[in-house]
Amino acid sequence: MFNCQLLPAKTQELFNIIKSFDIRQLSKEVGFIERVRKLCPEALIMALLTLCSIRNVSDGQDNGFDICEIASYYNLYIEKYPELGGVKVSAKDIDFQIYKPGLTVLMRTVFEKLLKHPFDSNREKICELKSELSNCLGFEISDIVLHDGCYKIVHSSLCNDFPATRKSSSKQSAQMGLQTALSLTAETITSLTITSATANERNYLCFQKGCIHICDAGYIKYELFDEATKAGALLIIKGYSNTSGTILEAKVNGIIDKSLAGKSLKSIKNLPETINIDMKVALKGKDKTAFVDSNGNTKMMQNNIIVRIIRFFDPHKGKCGFILTNIPSCVTGNIIKALLKLRWQIELFFRDLKGYNNLRAAKTTSKSLSLTFVWASLTSQLLKSIFRRSLSLSFNMEISTRRLEKFSCFSQLYKDLVLFAFGVESKINDSYKLLSNNPDLIKKAKNTTKQIQELRSMNAVLDEIKRLFNCPEICFPLPELPLLPLKK
């Protein structure tokens, strides 16, 4: 019998959660199975999850899985594990069932139920960070949420449902987008909406009171800072290097510099990279307000939005950039720059989703089957993340998914995890023993020194922010200067 005590505690909790699912009952509730059938929904889901993890396929509508592969794995599980209670079926039977929208809903339901399982691998450090920020700001910070969109090419016949942003190439005429919000407190997705590639990412940005929202440059809209302030939220966006505006107040390396007041942002672009500038800047918004001039004529004037901007040097691009935020000046610019580094975690999520869970595999003209593959890839990624973070806790080191995937024993362990989680006896005991008895193998999977030095790992960024709170930069209060007339 399998010894559950060998596995990390969080993985044991995961088993209990999945085993509490009644897949057959769920299948009936969502309309996938409407009457007694010989098809086994557990084996079908296991086949999809296995296909999403065993290999990586390239982009393009001529690559991906076909029905025969799904049927092959389904029949393999039915034959090898009679306790599933199903019978072997032909590819034609699978083909008839797998296009049902009910399967899409079933796969999404399984994914959403798994989202309720917390990772907890960095919970203590995240809580410490929220506590430090709350003490500094004077109000409670409830969460730090990362926002971004992930895109994949689908079959060109789906161009009406998922129009692409670039239509010059026939292979890119249909593209699907995943608008995602990732909570650092729960270390899991809090919001995910499937859209076309032409969707505006900003429309899926929902502010929550007491939350810090971190976005990339694609979300820039100056009015968002006013919306965030009204909602009681804080916003950090990486700005474009060509952002234009008028400087109202500025601190250079922590010291107030009145000579910069009234100058444009472009005038400081060529200053030495070692100079850190923290500014209050007036930006021109898109909205306009009507006013009456001295001659009694009604005119429209662009609204000015006051935003805090921090100039920083980007060593990867070799040039200076800007960070836009509405966080008060009591939080230093260096801390805000470090907070922006946390956004890398959602990029890692998308990398793992595409590279190791076959998000891009979609050889189908069916919209419902394309969506089913998406939810299966997300579920596979979630299972792997939970187990990888459980290993991190067990071995007290931060483990890289990319490095862990190189070991064949991890691939076999994942398959055994899927089988056991759905109530099938497997050789998971032997697979986990192989990992637990080879600490050197795990050490090869940990994050590299370069990743830690570049603050690309979660622990490294959180440790850096803690250091900055303990050794803050010299911070002088900004004087209340009158607003200067803006240049036309």
Helix, strand or coil, per DSSP, at residue 129? helix
pLDDT band at 114 (very low <50, low <70, confident <90, very high): confident
pLDDT band at 485 (very low <50, low <70, confident <90, very high): very low
Percent of residues, the chain, with pLDDT higher than 70 = 72
pLDDT at 38: 78
pLDDT at 108: 92
Per the prediction, the chain carries an average pLDDT of 78
pLDDT at 130: 93
Query: What residues have CB less than 8 Å from 414, skipping those under 6 apart?
Result: 53, 383, 384, 387
Extract the tokens encoding 285: 């918004």
pLDDT digits (tens, 9 = 90+) for 209-245: 999 999 998 898 888 999 999 999 999 999 888 888 8
Extract the tokens encoding 47: 């086949």
pLDDT band at 456 (very low <50, low <70, confident <90, very high): low
pLDDT digits (tens, 9 = 90+) for 252-262: 888 888 888 88
Out of 12-21, 81-90, 372-381, 457-466, the most confident range is 372-381
pLDDT at 11: 59
Average pLDDT value for residue range 171-199: 87
pLDDT band at 61 (very low <50, low <70, confident <90, very high): very low
CA distance 10 to 67: 34
Query: What does the radius of gyration of the chain's CA atoms come to, in whole angstroms?
Result: 26
pLDDT at 488: 37
Average pLDDT value for residue range 401-417: 70
pLDDT at 462: 86
Q: List, as one string, the DSSP characters of 207-269.
A: --TTEEEEE-GGG--THHHHHHHHTT-EEEEEEPTT---EEEEEEETTEE-GGGTT-BGGGGT
Residue 179, burial from CB neighbour count under 10 angstroms (0-12, 13-18, 19+): buried
pTM of the model: 0.84
pLDDT digits (tens, 9 = 90+) for 307-336: 999 988 777 777 788 999 999 989 999 899
pLDDT at 234: 96
* Region of poorest pLDDT, from 157-166, 312-321, 388-397: 388-397
Average pLDDT value for residue range 412-416: 71
CA distance 139 to 143: 12
Check residue 107 and give left, alpha or beta (phi > 0: left; psi -120 to 50: alpha): alpha
Average pLDDT value for residue range 338-345: 91
CA distance 255 to 250: 8
pLDDT at 18 over 70: no
pLDDT band at 483 (very low <50, low <70, confident <90, very high): very low
CA distance 213 to 236: 6
